[in-house]
Each structure stands twice: as structure tokens, then as C-alpha cells.
Amino acid sequence: QLRSSLVAVNCVGLSGSVGWKFAEYLAAGNAVVSPPIDKELLDPVVEGVHYLACHDPQECASLCRRLVSDDAMSRRMGDVNRRYFRESVNPPAHLSRLLSAAFA
């Protein structure tokens, strides 16, 4: 069902970390609404590109409505997220990057 969803709502993890579901949303190519992501990843996710940031439930609902009504925006975000997962999060790509960094 996740892959058939246009929009996913993320929650931050413990101590403000990126929630574990975020990677699943990227892999599924969802447009994402999330509280601001403060913890840095190897390749940072960018507010407005990979997700829309919300600060309260009302703003979250408003941003979800915006993404549902703007098909081009949500599809573009979904495509960017799918590519980000494939190039940065997918285990083989992630391991390759770690090994390259370790032996550089």
C-alpha cells in the first residue's frame, strides 16, 4: 500500500533522529511531509526537495493537501526520493560509498 500512496507523513525518531520509516518512503517514491530533519545523513535530504517540513498537525494536513492537489510537485518529489534511495540509501550503494570513503 505504501507504493500506491502519493504522500507519506514522517515522524522523527528518538532524539530527533531521522525516523526509520523515512527510508521506506524514499524507496517507495513517496512525497514526504515531515517535521524538520536536523540530523545529517551521508547525503543530506533537503527541505523543499526531498520533503516538506511541518511544525504542527495543522501545517502537516495543509502540506498533505498541497501535495495531493499538485500532482506535478508530488511526482517530482517522489522521483527525486526514489533516486536518492537508489543512489544513497540502498544497502549496496551505501556500503560502496562507505568503503570508498574508508579507502580514499
User: Which pLDDT tens digit goes with each residue over 3-61?
Assistant: 778 999 998 877 777 777 898 999 999 999 999 988 766 678 899 999 999 999 999 99
| pTM of the entire predicted model | 0.84
Question: Identity (one letter) of the amino acid at 50?
Answer: H
Rounded to whole angstroms, the Cα distance separating 66 from 47 reads 15
Contact 102, 75 (CB under 8 A): no
Rounded to whole angstroms, the Cα distance separating 21 from 18 reads 8
